[in-house]
């Protein structure tokens, strides 16, 4: 489990991305509203050059602005300041280029983009959002002022009010969205922290329980004389077995707190198996083992348990090795090896118990079981499963 990894965006980052995309779509639509105007009623030549040049430059700057913002995931103060400054220039220069009667009409392309600039400044202007909106609206009034007294004079005031109201609503909405995203991120961090504490507590309890049920019981048995007696070799075997058990227990806990189920299951099975009484069991488990479906863990562990039963019955050896290794991609291989009497694979056919308890369960979960032996050279059992 991970808590907000570098590859996963936070709620605040997702909110920035959503708002920037919305502002980019809004600005593009606002520029697109005027595309038809130059081709109606006389064509583009009826406008002064600064009208068309200003339109092209403003559109290109807006494209660059939102391209950079999309890559960075936010709008920075220098870009917002440049957007406001350019808007003030074309609000005055372009509006004054129109005849007074058209300065505040829909034929003036600056009106929709200016509204977009005020909305952007209200969201990303920081503590200067109000002055930025005032400057843009003020520049619009200065540029379109000649329209006052014409038939479109009312448009001068209505467009000013529209820009101001849109900016106010956008600023409040943006603040609410950002505040909600920050609260969501804080809640997510608190939930991850609480989960981590829960996992740590669970791991601590697991380790305590494992210690109580294994090494402490063994030490108490040795101290009371019920385990090992006076046989120094038996006591050493018990100590070596418990050391392997504790090493396996430590490997069973992943750094992220997830228990590697197969490692833990094998360790617990081996620790409690009767083979420990008369045999030295050497275990080695790869700490990279993946988490597996429960039925796979049960099948592999059950087959390994039955294999150790066979070691007790037939191997006539005092040592057995149990290993678990990683198979790419995402698979595992459990190997049980002894150097006992072995068997002749050409003449000995696996019995009913071997098929029922080793071969069939592993095959049923999509795995493979391989048994090989030779007289006097021991037996190897390989249990494998891949995704």
223: pLDDT strictly greater than 90: no
Mean model confidence pLDDT for the chain: 85
Looking at the chain, how many residues does it have? 387
Which pLDDT belongs to residue 254?
A: 46
Q: Residue 188: helix, strand or coil by DSSP? A: helix
pLDDT digits (tens, 9 = 90+) for 4-58: 333 468 999 999 999 999 999 999 999 998 888 777 766 667 788 899 999 999 9
Helix (H, G, I), strand (E, B) or coil at 238: helix
Longest dimension (CA), the chain: 116
**CA distance linking residue 195 with residue 200, whole number of Å:** 8
Q: Phi, psi at residue 187, to the nearest 5°?
A: -65, -40
- Specify the pairing of strand 280-285 against strand 319-327: parallel
Instruction: Indicate if the pLDDT at residue 209 is higher than 90.
Output: no
| N-terminal to C-terminal alpha carbon distance within the chain | 21
Chain centroid to CA 365: how far? 30
Lowest mean pLDDT among 18-27, 63-72, 327-336: 327-336
Single out the residue of 130, 125, 129 nearest to residue 74, CA to CA: 125
Both tokens assigned to 341: 């009497």
pLDDT band at 130 (very low <50, low <70, confident <90, very high): very high
Q: Specify the pLDDT at position 383.
A: 95
3-state secondary structure of 353: helix
Are 364 and 302 within 8 A, CB to CB?
no
**Is the whole-model pTM more than 0.75?**
no
Helix, strand, coil shares of the chain as percentages rounded to 5? 65, 10, 25
> How much is the pLDDT for 123?
96
């Amino acid at each position: 489990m991970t808590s907000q990894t570098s590859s996963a965006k936070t709620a605040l980052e997702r909110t920035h991305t959503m708002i920037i995309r919305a502002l980019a779509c809004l600005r593009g639509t606002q520029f697109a509203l005027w595309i038809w105007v130059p081709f109606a009623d006389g064509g583009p030549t009826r406008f002064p050059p600064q009208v068309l040049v200003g339109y092209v430059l403003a559109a290109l700057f807006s494209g660059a602005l939102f391209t950079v913002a999309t890559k960075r995931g936010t709008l920075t103060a220098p870009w917002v300041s440049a957007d406001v400054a350019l808007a003030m220039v074309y609000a005055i220069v372009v509006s004054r280029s129109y005849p007074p009667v058209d300065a505040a009409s829909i034929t003036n392309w600056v009106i929709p983009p200016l509204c977009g600039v005020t909305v952007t400044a209200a969201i990303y202007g920081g503590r200067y959002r109000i002055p930025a909106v005032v400057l843009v609206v003020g520049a619009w009034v200065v540029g379109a002022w000649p329209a006052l007294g014409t038939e479109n004079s009312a448009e001068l005031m209505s467009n000013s009010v529209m820009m101001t109201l849109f900016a106010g609503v956008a600023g409040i909405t943006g603040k609410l969205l950002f505040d909600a995203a920050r609260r969501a991120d804080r809640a997510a961090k608190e939930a991850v922290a609480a989960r981590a504490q829960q996992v740590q507590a669970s791991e601590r309890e697991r380790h305590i329980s494992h210690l109580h049920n294994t090494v402490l019981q063994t030490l108490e048995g040795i101290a009371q004389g019920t385990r090992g007696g006076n046989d120094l070799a038996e006591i050493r075997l018990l100590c070596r077995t418990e050391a392997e058990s504790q090493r396996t227990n430590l490997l069973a806990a992943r750094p992220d707190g997830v228990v590697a189920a197969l490692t833990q299951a094998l360790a617990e099975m081996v620790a409690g198996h009767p083979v420990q009484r008369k045999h030295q069991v050497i275990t080695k488990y790869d700490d990279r083992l993946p988490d597996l479906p429960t039925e796979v863990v049960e099948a592999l562990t059950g087959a390994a348990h039955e294999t150790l039963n066979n070691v007790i019955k037939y191997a006539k050896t005092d040592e057995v090795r149990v290993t678990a290794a990683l198979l790419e991609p995402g698979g595992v291989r459990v190997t049980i090896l002894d150097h006992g009497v072995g068997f002749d694979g050409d003449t000995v056919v696996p019995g009913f118990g071997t098929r029922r308890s080793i071969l069939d369960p592993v095959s049923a979960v999509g795995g493979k079981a391989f048994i090989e032996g030779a007289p006097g050279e021991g037996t190897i059992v390989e249990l494998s499963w891949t995704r």
